[in-house]
Structure 1
Amino acid sequence: MKTEAPTTSLGQTLEWLRKELAEMQVQDQRLLLTLRHLHSVLEELRTESAHWEDARSSGGTSPIRARAGSETRGRPPVSSKGLARLIRGEDSRRSSLP
């Protein structure tokens, strides 16, 4: 009977590890969405800033700077509520040892 206890314990430990890895994958996906959203916001701000800078100095927009913001527009936006929850850590993974 003593040989069955380590097997059960090992099986439970492996199941716990699988669960933790699955949770970490979900968290990684959320962080990636947040990073992509922040990147697109930064690109929009850079484009807007360049537009105002060019308008102020030359009265027109630079084709190079105007094109910079169009590279990230194909990505789906993340809702501001979801982003706020992620930043506050409400969706963060809790560690639970077996």
Structure 2
Amino acid sequence: MKTEAPTTSLGQTLEWLRKELAEMQVQDQRLLLTLRHLHSVLEELRTESAHWEDARSSGGTSPIRARAGSETRGRPPVSSRGLAQLIRGEDSRRSSLP
């Protein structure tokens, strides 16, 4: 019976390690999705910033009008609260409120 105890303990340890690795893989996937989302948001902000700089330097269109026109295209702006929820891994639900 003394030989069975280490085998059971080793089996339980291996099972625990498998569970931990599976959880880590899920976390890695979430972090990857978050990173990709943050990268796309940063690219959008860079593009918008360049657009504002062009509008400001050209003098033809005010930055406010340029921004108003850009808000109707693409995705809505991301709030800092939404980014915080995304980073924490919380499921974000779209609300009916703007």
TM-score band (shorter)? 0.5 to 0.7
Which structure 1 residue ranges, 4+ long, deviate > 4 Å from structure 2? 59-84, 89-98
Whether the aligned pair in 2 keeps the contact of 1:55 and 1:61 (CA below 8 Å) is yes
How far apart in 2 are the matches of 1:96 and 1:7? 56
Whether the aligned pair in 1 keeps the contact of 2:52 and 2:67 (CA below 8 Å) is no
TM-score with structure 2 setting the length: 0.63
- Residue by residue over 1:32-88, the C-alpha shift from the partner in whole angstroms, topping out at 9 and shown as x without a partner, is 100110110000000000011012113699999999999999999999998544434
Aligned pairs, how many?
98
TM-score with structure 1 setting the length: 0.63
Q: Could you say what the CA RMSD is over the residues aligned between the two structures, in angstroms?
A: 10.4
- The structure-2 alpha-carbon separation of the partners of 1:47 and 1:68, relative to structure 1 and needing over 3 Å to count, comes to farther
Question: Structure 1 regions of 5+ residues with no counterpart?
Answer: none
- Residue by residue over 1:3-53, the C-alpha shift from the partner in whole angstroms, topping out at 9 and shown as x without a partner, is 000000000000000000000000000001001101100000000000110
The structure, 1 or 2, with the larger RCO (C-alpha pairs under 8 Å, 6+ apart) is 1
Whether the aligned pair in 1 keeps the contact of 2:55 and 2:66 (CA below 8 Å) is no
Whether the aligned pair in 1 keeps the contact of 2:86 and 2:92 (CA below 8 Å) is yes
Question: Structure 2 regions of 5+ residues with no counterpart?
Answer: none
Whether the aligned pair in 2 keeps the contact of 1:54 and 1:61 (CA below 8 Å) is no
How far apart in 1 are the matches of 2:65 and 2:48? 9
